[in-house]
């Protein structure tokens, strides 16, 4: 399958995820790439995964994708105590998902613009994907976007960021259920191939390979900037494993990356798996980090594929076991030289926000704080980059409570409450969601 088809299809027809046939080796190019800006580096890296868009066009799409970022460095690095924080939240919706979804919007518009096709994008969101996907797709004449989110389980501002968008091609669906329910609905609907075909369904979630490609760039950028002779480690607040999986690919490409610290909240299915080799679903716990209130991480399957030496049969069996019983186990314990993993509870998250603020004046959002708390648990010799995945103003209740002062603001969010908002309540039911797409989709 070519890159364009991979982008349009999202999930593979058999319900699996797409991976590249080969991972490019960039070791020989690293020296020449030192000192490149984020966008210049993106223009080198993204084309390595795209064989069917003319290079000149692709470079333009990449440049256009980052014009709406408000920081000149796009993903600035800043020193906070002993660690370097990489801020990924300077895009239009103030979360790291903009880095990939601004590019994905450009790519969708480009591919569809060369045909007369229309697409209906279906997304499931625990909060931030929804607004970032909408910001990437709003106003596109050949796209309608449907965003399912768990009703009452995303923050007030996150909901307003989605529902105050007035463009006619944006449809928000408040689902009576959890984020895992939304993700399941999506999987089921994508599994109905006749429906998928008839309504040209596309995916904006990180199951879409293009998102992973875009995210590889900031790992590369930071590792080149800080690495020099010594590889760099990253600490990544993790939910669906999309972000950290891009770091894993960047490492495999040959960028100077040592370890990836996987930081989860109390939904610790992944942290437990790395310790024990047992992958077991539990009940979702609701925390101050809603973007990570996930039990089943959709992108994890991609990592398992590589871990199982690219054996698709072994992987299918593992995933089938898990789908059936909510539990699956590896034949051998999962040891990985690539990953460290730990889970951070709500108390630790809030006290980390407070401590970081008191010692350095830095205001971290709760997701970022999960990473900062996790990073403290490991004594590493190499430089460490903690990824800051959201602006603190997206989660003012938790941040202000932790700090004990009103410190979390952003002008883009201050006037949201006065705007008109629009959403449709739906039950967590496949037919109900399909009906909405049948009636509003084109
Ligand atoms: C989506 C999100 C995460 C989790 O990222 P994954 O790719 O799902 O692991 C972490 N923090 C914030 C703020 C997010 O929006």
Please report, for the domain that includes residue 252, its CATH number: 3.40.50.1100
Residue 2 lies in a domain: no
Q: How far apart are CA 75 and CA 405, in angstroms?
A: 27
Residue 307: CB within 6 Å of ligand 1?
A: no
Phi and psi, residue 37, nearest 5°: -70, 170
Question: 339-357: b or e for each residue (b if 16 or more CB lie within 10 Å)?
Answer: bbbbbbebebbbebbbbbb
Distance, CA 29 to ligand 1 centroid (Å)?
A: 30
Residue 368: CB within 6 Å of ligand 1?
A: no
Distance, CA 132 to ligand 1 centroid (Å)?
A: 12
Residue 185 lies in a domain: no
**Is 318 in a helix, a strand, or coil?**
helix
Cβ proximity of 251 and 338 under 8 Å:
yes
Distance, CA 155 to ligand 1 centroid (Å)?
A: 14
Please compute Rg for the chain using Cα positions.
20
**Is 146 in a helix, a strand, or coil?**
strand
Residue nearest (by alpha carbon) to ligand 1 atom 1: 291
Whole-prediction pTM: 0.94
Which residues, listed in sequence order, are joined to residue 388 by a DSSP beta bridge?
87
Residue 83 lies in a domain: yes
User: Best substitution site from 239, 300, 399 to test ligand 1's pocket, by max atoms within 8 Å of Cβ?
Assistant: 239
User: Given this model, what pLDDT does residue 297 score?
Assistant: 87
Residue 339 lies in a domain: yes
Phi and psi, residue 358, nearest 5°: -70, -35
Residue 185 CA, distance from chain mean position:
19
In order along its 442 residues, the chain shows pLDDT tens digits of 999 999 999 888 888 899 999 999 999 999 999 999 999 999 999 999 999 999 999 999 999 999 999 999 999 999 999 899 999 999 999 999 999 999 999 999 999 999 989 999 999 998 889 999 999 999 999 999 999 999 998 888 999 999 998 789 999 999 999 988 998 999 899 999 999 999 999 989 888 999 999 999 999 999 999 977 789 999 999 999 999 999 999 999 999 999 999 999 999 999 999 888 899 998 989 999 999 988 888 899 999 999 999 999 999 999 999 989 999 998 776 767 889 999 999 999 999 999 999 999 999 999 999 999 999 999 889 999 999 999 999 999 999 999 999 999 998 898 888 888 899 999 999 999 999 999 998 8
Residue 262 lies in a domain: yes
User: Given this model, what pLDDT does residue 389 score?
Assistant: 98
Which residues, listed in sequence order, are joined to residue 327 by a DSSP beta bridge?
280
User: Given this model, what pLDDT does residue 403 score?
Assistant: 96
Distance, CA 439 to ligand 1 centroid (Å)?
A: 31
Q: Is there a catalytic annotation at residue 97? A: yes
Phi and psi, residue 198, nearest 5°: -60, -40
Residue 114 lies in a domain: no
Residue nearest (by alpha carbon) to ligand 1 atom 14: 291
Q: How far apart are CA 375 and CA 353, in angstroms?
A: 13
Residue 241: CB within 6 Å of ligand 1?
A: yes
Residue 233 lies in a domain: yes
User: Given this model, what pLDDT does residue 47 score?
Assistant: 98
Q: Give the ligand 1 atom nearest the CA of 132.
A: 15
Distance, CA 303 to ligand 1 centroid (Å)?
A: 17
User: Best substitution site from 104, 128, 135, 212 to test ligand 1's pocket, by max atoms within 8 Å of Cβ?
Assistant: 128
Can you give the residue range of the structural domain that contains 340? 77-94+209-410
**Taken in order 93, 153, 281, 321, is the CA torsion positive or negative?**
negative
Residue 220 lies in a domain: yes
Residue 242: CB within 6 Å of ligand 1?
A: yes
DSSP 183-204: HHHHHHHHH-HHHHHHTTEEE-
Residue 271: CB within 6 Å of ligand 1?
A: no
Q: How far apart are CA 95 and CA 389, in angstroms?
A: 6
Residue 367: CB within 6 Å of ligand 1?
A: yes
Q: How many domains does the chain have?
A: 1
CA angle (15, 95, 173) in 5-degree steps: 55
């Amino acid at each position: 399958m070519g890159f364009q088809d991979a982008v349009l299809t999202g999930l593979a027809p058999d319900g699996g995820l797409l991976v590249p046939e080969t991972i490019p080796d960039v070791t020989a190019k690293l020296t020449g790439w030192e000192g490149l800006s984020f966008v210049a580096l993106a223009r080198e890296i993204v084309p390595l995964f795209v064989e069917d868009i003319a290079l000149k066009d692709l470079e333009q799409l990449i440049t256009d994708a980052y014009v709406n970022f408000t920081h000149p460095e796009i993903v600035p690095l800043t020193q906070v105590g002993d660690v370097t924080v990489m801020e990924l939240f300077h895009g239009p919706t103030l979360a790291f998902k903009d880095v990939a979804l601004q590019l994905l919007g450009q790519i969708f518009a480009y591919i569809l613009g060369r045909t007369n096709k229309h697409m209906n994008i279906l997304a499931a969101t625990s909060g931030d994907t929804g607004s970032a996907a909408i910001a990437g797709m709003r106003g596109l004449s050949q796209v309608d976007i449907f965003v399912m989110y768990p009703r009452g389980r995303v923050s007030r501002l996150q909901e307003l960021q989605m529902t105050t968008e007035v463009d006619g091609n944006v449809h928000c669906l408040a689902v009576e259920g959890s984020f895992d329910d939304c993700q399941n609905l999506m999987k089921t609907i994508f599994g109905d191939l006749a429906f998928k075909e008839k309504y040209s369904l596309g995916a904006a979630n990180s199951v879409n390979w293009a998102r992973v490609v875009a995210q590889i760039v900031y790992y590369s950028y930071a590792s080149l900037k800080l690495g020099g002779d010594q590889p760099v480690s990253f600490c990544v607040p993790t939910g669906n494993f999309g972000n950290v999986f891009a770091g894993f690919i960047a490492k495999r490409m040959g960028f100077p990356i040592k370890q990836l610290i996987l930081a989860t909240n109390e939904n610790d299915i992944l942290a437990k798996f790395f310790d024990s080799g047992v992958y077991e679903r539990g009940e979702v716990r609701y925390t101050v980090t809603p973007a990570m209130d996930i039990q089943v991480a959709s992108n994890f399957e991609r990592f398992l594929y590589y871990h199982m030496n690219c054996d698709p049969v072994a992987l299918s069996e593992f995933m089938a076991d898990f789908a059936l019983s909510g539990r699956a186990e590896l034949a051998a314990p999962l040891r990985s030289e690539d990953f460290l993993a730990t889970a951070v509870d709500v108390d630790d998250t809030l006290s980390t926000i407070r401590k970081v603020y008191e010692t350095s004046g830095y205001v971290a959002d709760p997701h970022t704080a999960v990473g900062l708390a996790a990073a403290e648990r490991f004594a590493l010799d190499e430089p460490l980059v903690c990824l800051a995945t959201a602006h603190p103003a997206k989660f003012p209740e938790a941040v202000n409570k932790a700090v004990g002062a009103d410190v979390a603001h952003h002008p883009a969010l201050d006037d949201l409450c006065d705007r008109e908002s629009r959403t449709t309540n739906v039950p967590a039911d496949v037919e109900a969601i399909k009906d909405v797409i049948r009636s509003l989709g084109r």
